[in-house]
Structure 1
Amino acid sequence: MSLPVLVAIVVLGITLSVAAVHFTGGSKTATLANTDQAVRRFAEDFPDELAGAIHLTADAKTAFLELGRGRIGIVHSIGDCFLTRIVTAADVSVSNSDETNTILVRLTDFTWKGGRFRFANAGDAQALLNALEARQSDATREAA
């Protein structure tokens, strides 16, 4: 078999494999339908935790759940799955973004560094920003 024919067969095989994965849902991104789904998904990993206020991002890929005792639960989509975390003031750095209704969250967790989260309304963004900043201030006072 000649080299050009072999290369063509390999390229066609790779193209068909990638297309098959894509068209069977392999490139689908998970989203949260509503806050109830976020609570249910979080409860799968943390069944003993009760969520208070829930803040869902505008793209429905991330939910922040206020858990009490200075902790925030996070449900974040990665590919077609969800990652869940519980963070405290020591685990997070938060700041306001220049974009409307957007906050920046950085985690010390090496498996997920956080990101930029845009909310549908300013109230959710500000409530979460206040909750995380208040917890950061409390942790700073306790450390001193």
Structure 2
Amino acid sequence: MSLPLLVAIVALGIALSVASVHLTGGSKTATLTGTDQAISRFAEDFPDEIATMVRLTADARTAFLDIERGRVGIVHSIGDCFLTRIVISRDIMALAGDDANTVSFRLADFTWKGGRFRFASAADAQGVLKALEPHRSNSVGEAA
């Protein structure tokens, strides 16, 4: 078999594999249908945690859940699956409110570094920013 024919066969095989993955939904990005789905998905991984507030990003790919003791639950889509995390203020290496509707942060966790998140309202962005900010401690050592 000649080398050009072999290269053509391999290229065609790769192209067909990529096309079949795409056509069967492999390149689909998961989105959250609402706050109920975000709470449900978070509860699958953290059944003992109770969310008091849920804020969805404008693209519905990420939800931020306020949970007890100054912690924030995160449900974030990666491909067609969801990643869940509980974050506390000391996990955050950098935090910024880029504009009225956008929050960006970087985590110390090497498995997911965080990102830049745009919200439909400035109130949601400010709520997430406030929830992720470091909390001051009182003399007993509890979060204020």
State the TM-score, normalizing by the size of structure 1.
0.91
Match of 1:127, SS?
A: helix
Superposition deviation, residue 100 in structure 1: 4.0
Aligned identity (percent) is 67
Match of 2:135, SS?
A: helix
Name the counterpart of 1:137. 135
Closer, same or farther: CA 51–131 of 1 in aligned 2, 3 Å: same
User: Is 2:68 the partner of 1:68?
Assistant: yes
Q: Following the alignment from structure 2 to structure 1, what is the Cα–Cα distance between the partners of residues 105 and 137? A: 17
Paired amino acid for 2:130? N
Deviations 1:52-88 (A, max 9, x none): 0111000101000000211100000011110000011
State the TM-score, normalizing by the size of structure 2.
0.91
Name the counterpart of 2:97. 96
Paired amino acid for 2:96? S
Match of 2:7, SS?
A: helix
In the comparison of the two structures, how many residue pairs are matched? 140
Name the counterpart of 2:87. 87
Superposition deviation, residue 3 in structure 1: 1.4
Q: Are the equivalent residues in 2 in contact too, given 1:56–1:64 (CA < 8 A)? A: yes
Q: Following the alignment from structure 1 to structure 2, what is the Cα–Cα distance between the partners of residues 115 and 55? A: 16
Q: Following the alignment from structure 2 to structure 1, what is the Cα–Cα distance between the partners of residues 137 and 61? A: 28
Deviations 1:80-123 (A, max 9, x none): 110000011111232111x4400111111110010000001111
Closer, same or farther: CA 100–79 of 1 in aligned 2, 3 Å: same
Paired amino acid for 1:55? R
Q: Which protein has the bigger helix share? A: 1
Name the counterpart of 1:56. 56
Superposition deviation, residue 21 in structure 1: 0.5
